[in-house]
A and B are shown apart, each in its own frame.
Chain A
Amino acid sequence: MRRVFAALISMLLVYMMVSFLAVLEPYGKADLSRRVSVHYLAKDVNEVEPVEWIKGKIQIPSERKIYGESNLEDGSANVVTSIVVNYRSFDTLGEVTVLLAAAIGIGLVLRGTKRMKYGRNPNFILRVSTGILLPLMLMFGAYVFVHGHLSPGGGFPGGTILAAAVLLLYLSNEEFSLKEKAAKFLEGSMGSLYVIVGLAGLLTGGAFLYNFLSNGRVGDLFSAGVVPIVYIVIGLKVGSELSGVISEIHREGE
């Protein structure tokens, strides 16, 4: 029975891959990066044809005015980010707090002192590929949260990718142990930095987490006001928090 299931699943996988190949464009003609960025810059996923935008038929709205005021979505190309960090920034603060509470709970429940050992040496492939993959993973995590306002991504997935890099370190090296105090310090300082950014908005704009920086041009790295700052803060906080959770899971009581 199990073999029948396995054969069925593998046949489905092969069929999926073959049909997916038919959907894809031929190698070298896809131009994916430009397509994604154009879709995001034009703030339209479905209708805008990249070719028309490149030819200049469609203009990117540099600033949209509604009733004489500037829109919150002006600076960020990715509308989802704008909703998460501009419109519902207080909500995001609550989410970060929930994650902090979860991390504290795990730390209270699993209070080990010694690092857990798997009892066997990690093999050659794992050790060597860790050296290659680790910088790439850290860089990609940083990219995901720095580019949160331009491309899909943001603080939470970026931080999780950083934590996955720490997990790889734990798997590949029996002696590695995260510096808990540094992680806790990073987590706490980043959490308070988020509140400080919010208070700065309260001082300058009259509302908590008000966007007090200029929006800039859509598509630039330093655009969208405080959104990149907030996402970098959230990314580092989530990354250090989840790394702490991973290191706590990896410890044993004595």
Chain B
Amino acid sequence: MNLLILLAGGMMLIAAFFAVEAKKLLDSVIALSSLSLLSVFLFIIMRAPDVAITEASVGAGLTTAVLLITLFKMRGDDEE
């Protein structure tokens, strides 16, 4: 179990660095979403299911959607 926590934490770090460093904004958004999902996993391991549900619905669900819609709108402005 300890190894799993380390692994998830390491992957969260990788996702965070990737979100900052990625050239495409879309890649950053996807990396942020995977970061949220990994933190959901960590919350479940740490036995905080309430926080896990909130993180899954808000962090991985709605925030990603809002960021993606914003990205789409920005692209639309660029093309015009």
Contact = CB atoms under 8 A, between A and B. Distances in A.
Interface string B17-48: 01000000000000000000000000000010
Interface stretch (A69-77, A126-134, A157-165, A213-221): A157-165
Contacts of B62: 160, 163-164, 167, 242, 246
A5 interface: yes
Contact of B1 (A23, A45, A118): A23
Taking each of B7, B50, B65, B72, which has the highest tally of chain A beta carbons within 10 Å of its own beta carbon? B50
B49 to A, nearest CB: 4
Interface stretch (A57-65, A148-156, A173-181, A202-210): A148-156
Contacts of B70: 249
A161 B57 contact: yes
Taking each of A9, A157, A167, A246, which has the highest tally of chain B beta carbons within 10 Å of its own beta carbon? A157
Interface residues of A, number: 32
Contacts of B56: 157
Contact of A45 (B4, B47, B66): B47
Contacts of B10: 12
Interface residues of B, number: 26
A160 B61 contact: yes
Instruction: Tell me whether chain A's interface is mostly helix, strand or loop, or mixed.
Output: helix
Instruction: Please name the 8 residue pairs, one residue from A and one from B, whose CB atoms are nearest each other, closest first.
Output: A152-B49, A160-B57, A157-B57, A157-B54, A157-B53, A80-B50, A152-B50, A164-B61
16 contacts: A15-B7, A16-B4, A16-B7, A16-B8, A16-B11, A45-B47, A144-B53, A152-B50, A152-B52, A153-B53, A154-B53, A157-B57, A161-B57, A167-B65, A249-B66, A249-B70
Interface of B: 1, 3-4, 7-8, 10-11, 14, 18, 47, 49-50, 52-54, 56-58, 61-62, 65-66, 69-70, 72-73
